[in-house]
């Protein structure tokens, strides 16, 4: 587990929300010095604690673990399904060949990802 990455993200998320360490510690059921250890990298949260922290900060566990830069838990398959629904509503796009549809899906996926990364 990238303890440095997790600790950095935990501190950033807490500060973004404007939460005090004591507030977060109380919410997740640990002492303030334990949370401080998570944030400075001297302690590692166990899987259950990672789940609690992800819920509190409204991010995915994959984001906390550094497996994705996408904060929410929406997967590419979820996005693809949403894009397909969007494209079916935009009927004009579906009048083209299947290769064109896949190309347009890839383009939309890249656009969405670039918007997410700029947030």
Among the residues of 1-119, which ranges form H helices? 3-17, 21-28, 32-40, 47-57, 61-64, 76-89, 98-118
CA-based end-to-end distance of the chain: 25
**Residue 53 pLDDT:** 95
Select the more confidently predicted residue: 32 or 94. Answer: 32
- Average pLDDT taken over every residue of the chain: 80
Select the more confidently predicted residue: 58 or 96. Answer: 58
Residue 102 near residue 109 (C-beta atoms within 8 A): no
Q: Give the phi and the psi of residue 35 in degrees, each rounded to 5.
A: -60, -40
**Residue 79 pLDDT:** 60
Q: Is the pLDDT reported for residue 40 higher than 90?
A: yes
- Report angle CA 105, 108, 109 to the nearest 5 degrees: 85
Reported as a single tens digit per residue, the pLDDT across 45-94 is 999 999 999 999 989 888 888 887 777 755 555 566 666 676 666 655 44
**Exposed/middle/buried for 73, CB within 10 Å: 0-12, 13-18, 19+?**
middle
**Residue 1 pLDDT:** 44
CA–CA separation, 93 and 87 (whole Å): 6
pTM: 0.60
């Amino acid at each position: 587990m990238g303890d440095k990455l997790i600790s950095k993200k935990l501190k950033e998320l807490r500060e973004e929300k404007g939460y005090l360490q004591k507030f977060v510690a109380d919410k997740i059921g640990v002492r303030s010095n334990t949370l401080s250890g998570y944030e400075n990298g001297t302690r590692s949260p166990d899987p259950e604690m990672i789940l609690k922290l992800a819920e509190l900060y409204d991010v995915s566990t994959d984001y906390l673990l550094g497996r994705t830069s996408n904060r929410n838990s929406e997967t590419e398959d979820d996005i693809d399904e949403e894009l397909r629904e969007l494209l079916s509503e935009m009927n004009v796009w579906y009048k083209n060949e299947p290769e064109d549809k896949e190309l347009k899906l890839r383009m939309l996926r890249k656009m969405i990802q670039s918007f997410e990364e700029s947030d």
